[in-house]
């Protein structure tokens, strides 16, 4: 099992502080270029773009860490299906490729089925985005056979369905297909607001950046963070994978993608190290560094969860939270123990 890391300024220095064996466990660094593919999942100050390309090229030349260009907005304008919009997109991808990019994380299945688009974009290793919400063997089989896709980031819900992961692995393992899981995004389980939130992220660049980002921040702080503070056990119900629980998935999964675009490197270091070294002494506040959690759950460590059988239980729970109170019990048990 290897890792896909998010680009953030300072990542190169962090990588160079690691041992050679640990660096070998990093497969790629995923990124988006705000000048070409605007997204809210990066620092709003675009002055770092030139340095980003320098860092990515150095990580590739020194350590063979692949560049993974991520273009997966949940909303696409219809311009991309017609000329000249489609050609502009193709030209942008050619530019990204000539800069040394190896991989393309993409989610627009209409374009991926478009013969003109597929024949004229460079020879990227195309990885289907987590935003496509592929969660079953049936979907993987269909997309492999009819859209010629060989690399999948599976929906985060699959993190809680090991039986389906095993089914997918058994069908894909001898077909040159790679499987990726997202490690620790931290969104609320089955959040009814997620699609709207993703849509705002995808289209914010069409409007005043501060106005829309202010709305997004209000949503996150007044709903997501406050929900976790008021309902701390719900953070355990989010379909994340514990660093110590990676061993459960390792026989079936090729890569773990770690969330963190737009989060500063000082906040990410502990989280990244926890997964790269599969450590268990990390607190949940470091795992979910993008959330501002004030409740007691932020002090709970991975090891405390694993002592209660956390990963073994939730890897097969299928997020049936309404009929299961395991996470509530484990939270109360650890808080009472402390």
- Could you give all domains of the chain from N- to C-terminal order, each with its CATH number? 2-337 (3.20.20)
pLDDT above 80: residue 40:
no
pLDDT band at 287 (very low <50, low <70, confident <90, very high): very high
Name the band, by pLDDT with cuts 50, 70 and 90, for residue 194. Answer: confident
Longest dimension (CA), the chain: 63
The predicted model gives 320-326 an average pLDDT of 93
Q: What is the DSSP string of 6-28?
A: EP-TTHHHHHHTS-HHHHHTEEE
Stretch 218-246: mean pLDDT: 88
Closest CA to 131 of 80, 195, 209, 174: 195
- Three-state DSSP class for residue 152: strand
pLDDT for res 50: 87
pLDDT band at 36 (very low <50, low <70, confident <90, very high): low
Of the listed ranges 17-26, 35-44, 193-202, 235-244, the one predicted with least confidence: 35-44
pLDDT at 37: 63
Strand-pair partners of 301: 283
pLDDT band at 185 (very low <50, low <70, confident <90, very high): confident
Residue range 12-27, pLDDT digits in tens: 999 999 999 999 999 9
**pLDDT reading at 206 higher than 60:** no
> For position 212, what pLDDT does the model report?
60
Give the pLDDT confidence of 91-103 residue by residue, as tens digits.
999 999 999 999 9
Going by pLDDT thresholds of 50, 70 and 90, the confidence category of residue 338 is confident
Residues 6+ apart with CB under 8 A from 34: 42, 46, 49
Per-residue pLDDT reduced to its tens digit, 124-182: 999 999 999 999 999 999 999 999 999 999 999 999 999 999 999 999 999 999 999 99
Percent of the chain with pLDDT over 70: 90
What average pLDDT does range 202-210 have in this prediction? 61
Report the alpha-carbon distance of residue 321 to residue 157 in Å, rounded: 12
Contacts of 91 (CB under 8 A, 6+ apart): none
- Cα dist from 289 to 152, 186, 190, 264, 293, whole Å: 25, 9, 20, 10, 9
The rounded Cα 313 to chain-centroid distance in angstroms is 23
Report the mean per-residue pLDDT for the chain.
90
pLDDT of residue 241: 97
Burial class (CB in 10 A: 0-12, 13-18, 19+), 225: middle
Share of residues in the chain with pLDDT > 90 (%): 72
Structural contact between residues 71 and 106, judged by C-beta atoms closer than 8 angstroms: yes
pLDDT at residue 102, as a whole number? 93
pTM of the model: 0.93
Is residue 221 over pLDDT 80?
Answer: no
CA atoms of 56 and 326, how far apart (whole Å)? 42
Q: pLDDT category, 61, cuts 50, 70, 90?
A: very high
For residue 33, what pLDDT is reported? 77
The H or E element spanning position 286 is helix 284-287
pLDDT of 207 over the 70 cut: no
Residue 210: what pLDDT? 56
Average pLDDT of the residues in 256-263: 90
The pLDDT score that the predictor gives to residue 271 is 95
Task: Kindly tell me if the per-residue pLDDT of 45 is higher than 60.
Answer: no
The stretch 42-60 carries a mean pLDDT of 80
pLDDT of amino acid 209: 57
The pLDDT of residue 277 is 96
């Amino acid at each position: 099992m290897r890792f896909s890391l998010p680009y953030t300024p300072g990542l190169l220095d962090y990588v160079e502080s690691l041992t050679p064996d640990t660096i070998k466990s990093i497969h790629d660094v995923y990124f988006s270029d705000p000048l070409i593919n605007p997204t809210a999942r990066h620092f709003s100050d675009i002055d770092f773009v030139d340095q980003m390309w320098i860092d990515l090229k150095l990580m590739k030349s020194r350590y063979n860490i692949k560049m993974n260009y991520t273009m997966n907005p949940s909303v696409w304008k219809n311009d991309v299906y017609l000329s000249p919009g489609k050609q502009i997109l193709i030209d942008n991808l050619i530019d990204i490729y000539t800069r040394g990019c190896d991989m393309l994380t993409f989610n627009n299945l209409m374009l991926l089925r478009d013969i003109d688009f597929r024949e004229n974009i460079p020879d990227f290793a195309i990885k289907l985005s987590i935003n496509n919400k592929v969660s079953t063997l049936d979907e993987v089989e269909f997309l492999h056979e009819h859209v010629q896709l060989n690399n999948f980031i599976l929906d985060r819900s699959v993190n809680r369905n090991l039986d389906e992961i095993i089914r997918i692995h058994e069908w894909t393992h001898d077909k040159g297909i790679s499987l990726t899981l997202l490690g620790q995004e931290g969104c609320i389980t089955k959040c009814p607001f997620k699609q709207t939130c993703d849509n705002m992220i995808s289209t914010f660049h069409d409007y005043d950046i501060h106005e829309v980002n202010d709305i997004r921040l209000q949503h996150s702080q007044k709903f997501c963070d406050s929900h976790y503070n008021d309902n701390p056990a719900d953070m355990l119900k989010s379909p994340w994978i514990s660093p110590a629980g990676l061993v459960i998935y390792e026989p079936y999964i090729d890569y773990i993608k770690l969330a963190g675009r737009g989060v500063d490197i000082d906040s990410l270091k502990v989280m990244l190290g926890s997964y790269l070294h599969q450590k268990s002494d990390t607190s949940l506040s470091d795992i979910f560094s993008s959330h501002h959690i004030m409740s007691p759950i932020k002090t709970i460590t991975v090891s405390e969860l694993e002592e209660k059988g956390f990963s073994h239980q939730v890897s097969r729970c299928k997020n049936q939270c309404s009929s299961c109170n395991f996470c509530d019990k484990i939270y109360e048990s650890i808080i009472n123990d402390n």
